[in-house]
Amino acid sequence: MEKQIGVNSSLNDILDVSQEKFSALPAVGMALDIPLTYQEFYQRIIALALRLSREGVKKGDHVAILAENSPNWGAAYFAIVRLGAVAVPILPDLPEADVHHILAEMRVPVLFTTERQIEKIYELKQKKLRRIITLDDSVASFNALAVEPFTDYLAEAMEMRDEAERKGPIVFDTVTADDLASILYTSGTSGYSKAVMLSHRNLAANAQSASSMIDVEPGAVFLSILPMSHTYEFTVGFILPLLRGARIAYAGKTPTPAILQKLCRHEKPYAIFVVPLVMEKIYKKRVLPKITESFALSLLCKVELGRRFIHKRIGAKLLEFFGGNLKVMGIGGAALNPEVEQFLYNADFPYLIGYGLTECAPLLAGGPPGDKSIVVGSTGKPVPGVRIKIVHPDPVTGIGEIYGQGPNVMQGYFNDPDATAETLTADGWIATGDLGFIDDFGNLHIRGRSKNVIVMSNGENVYPEAIEHKINVTPWVVESLVVENNGRLEAWVYPDYEYIDAATVGQGRSQRHQYIEALLAEMRTKINEQVSPAARLARILERQEPFIKTATHKIKRYLYSGGNMKL
């Protein structure tokens, strides 16, 4: 009897069914390279799982992946969970101290890594780690660590598999939907990194939920540019396309706009998932200049009809930038600037806003595509199978804490029953820590993190993210942070120094400083005209280096306050 994918399916079930249905179709590969077919990918996974099993990896063991995106990353992940072992994906941009903490707490016997990451484990004092496999076939410098290149490891694994199959079918321990699949460490803005336990059901259900909202034909191309070790890319950029017989093309390291355009021209992707920063940069670098540098276009954009016409023309060019075949641009991981979203909406660009968190594998809301009642500035409706409610809403604004419930909600935090109890209710709801409201059309609107709200002396709540959006859309601003300092609001701005350099060519340091000060003063006046009296900025200051951010490019706010902004 043919397997069916449903609410009780594991990730292994998804792979089994896809391998049967799409065996000869291309599955995964680096962009511009020849991809592996579903059958070839599957054969590698079974071989790797068999070898790991014979080397002592068993159900419940933790196996880590510290590496950049590649087909080998995916093969390693599926080999781990095939055994009922637990994959521990580690974000590639985590510092050495965090990597050591994770590997020590997880007590991993096997680590899959790459040349760019291996330096982080040179000083690791973890006796349980007995095998290191490099997914990019690199060998550790100066033989500081005994490693095995993936190609060699796989070749022996394939021989093991061939030999085993001659004796009969290869059978592994049964893995159910409720077995643990992944433990992921959050990289949130509040400073406390927690180990989130996600089951096969959590991840498989969320991928199925997202998949049910978009039409994906077998063979469609998903261009992957975000880290697979983040649930956002993992669920919608990895599991979802495999579920539908699509092909995943990995961009490698984060591409520059020029490289991204080249990849898109070649791959002609059907779908790409990005964080807001990607689209905000494109808007400021490629869209705004077309308008501001043309007197005629600037004049047209002062009128609503003219603005829509210009935005549609630019939007058509933007689609060409992404290869001309783009049907889904998923944007999530942080809040999108409202002005950028308004442009995408006016341009009829095929974007989709998603909202969620690691603890929900990750999607809670987003879309559905084509729903005309979705309001710009909202995240759309709850995804299929998920319920959302607002707890303790303000009687005037309706804003309260967002709670979610569904098969995608985590099992809890690893070795942290107190934090689990604080986050999960007895009847399965998760407290997200985010504030928002639901409008009359059922759309969810996010207003910010509950921990970020600034309560002013008059009792008014100020949402710093809303002010930052107004600042960040300015062409000469890269990023900003609004903080409270001795009862007053102030903003720190990291300028785009390329913009500043171009505007101050031939000027001395003093003149350049005066130019920046004038921009800051002008901005303060402009912003204060757009916000309530309680939200007005007492001052705006220049910050001369980027803020420290999470994997999805959200500023780690806990590091900064009015008194320690020099970090």
- The average pLDDT across 383-409 equals 96
438 within 8 A of 397, measured Cβ to Cβ: no
Q: What is the pLDDT, as a whole number, of residue 187?
A: 65
Q: CA 60, CA 63: separation in Å to the nearest integer?
A: 9
pLDDT digits (tens, 9 = 90+) for 161-186: 999 999 999 999 999 999 999 999 98
184 CB neighbour count, 10 Å cutoff: 26
Positive or negative, the CA dihedral 230, 232, 233, 236 is positive
Both tokens assigned to 371: 């729903």
Both tokens assigned to 90: 């580690």
Q: Is the pLDDT of residue 564 over 80?
A: no
Positions of E strands within 45-107: 62-66, 86-90
Q: CA 496, CA 83: separation in Å to the nearest integer?
A: 49
Q: CA 322, CA 344: separation in Å to the nearest integer?
A: 14
**How is 374-397 classified by DSSP, letter by letter?**
PPTTS--SBPTT-EEEEES--TTT
Provide φ and ψ at 76, rounded to 5°. Answer: -60, -45
Q: Is the pLDDT of residue 190 over 60?
A: no
List the one residue out of 249, 24, 51, 261 whose CA is nearest residue 155.
51
Residue 325: CB partners within 8 Å, gap ≥ 6? 221, 268, 269, 270
pLDDT digits (tens, 9 = 90+) for 264-320: 999 999 999 998 888 988 888 888 888 888 888 888 888 888 889 999 999 999 999
Both tokens assigned to 471: 């600042």
pLDDT digits (tens, 9 = 90+) for 20-37: 999 999 999 999 999 999
Q: What is the mean pLDDT of the chain?
A: 92
Q: Which helix (H) or strand (E) holds 403?
A: strand 400-405
Q: Is the pLDDT of residue 457 over 80?
A: no
Q: Which helix (H) or strand (E) holds 79?
A: helix 71-82
Q: Is the pLDDT of residue 340 over 80?
A: yes
507 CB neighbour count, 10 Å cutoff: 13
- The backbone region for 280, taken as left when phi is positive above 0, alpha when psi lies in -120 to 50, beta otherwise, is alpha
Domains and CATH numbers, the chain: 11-202 (3.40.50.12780), 239-451 (3.40.50.12780), 453-559 (3.30.300.30)
Q: How far does CA 80 lie from the centroid of its chain?
A: 22
Q: What is the pLDDT, as a whole number, of residue 189?
A: 46
